[in-house]
Amino acid sequence: MTSTVSTHILDTSVGRPAVGVTVRLFTRSGDDWQEAGASVTDADGRCKDFPALPEGAVHARLVFEVGAEFFPEVTVAFAVGPGEHYHVPLLLNPFGYSVYRGS
């Protein structure tokens, strides 16, 4: 049973989706992280086209290349289990960010 990942980014300073942000997906089943894919946020700030996570992956990591002066990138790592979908939204502004597991 494979797991999947999606995300979206909301720029809370302007209340709009963050368009054109590169997001890279990494997975880990042992000691080393392996890049599994990359995507760019669409007009709705979403990345829905990541590949399914490889069998045996126990952790996933999203690297949001936001390019902001204070936060050039945001990295979020999380545990994964077989057959689950993980939606990880990023709420971003120039002074902070937060993430949560969405649906």
Query: Tens-digit pLDDT profile for the chain (103 aa)?
Result: 789 999 999 999 999 999 999 999 999 988 899 999 999 999 999 999 999 999 999 999 999 999 877 889 999 999 999 999 999 999 999 899 999 999 8
- For position 13, what pLDDT does the model report? 93
Beta strands in 29-58 (DSSP E): 33-40, 46-47
Residues 85 and 6 sit within 8 Å (Cβ to Cβ): yes
Residue extents of the structural domains in the chain: 4-99
- 4-99 belongs to which homologous superfamily? Transthyretin/hydroxyisourate hydrolase domain (2.60.40.180)
DSSP state, residue 23: E
| Cα 57-58-63 angle, rounded to 5 deg | 85
Question: Which pTM value belongs to this model?
Answer: 0.94
The widest CA-to-CA distance across the chain, in whole angstroms, is 40
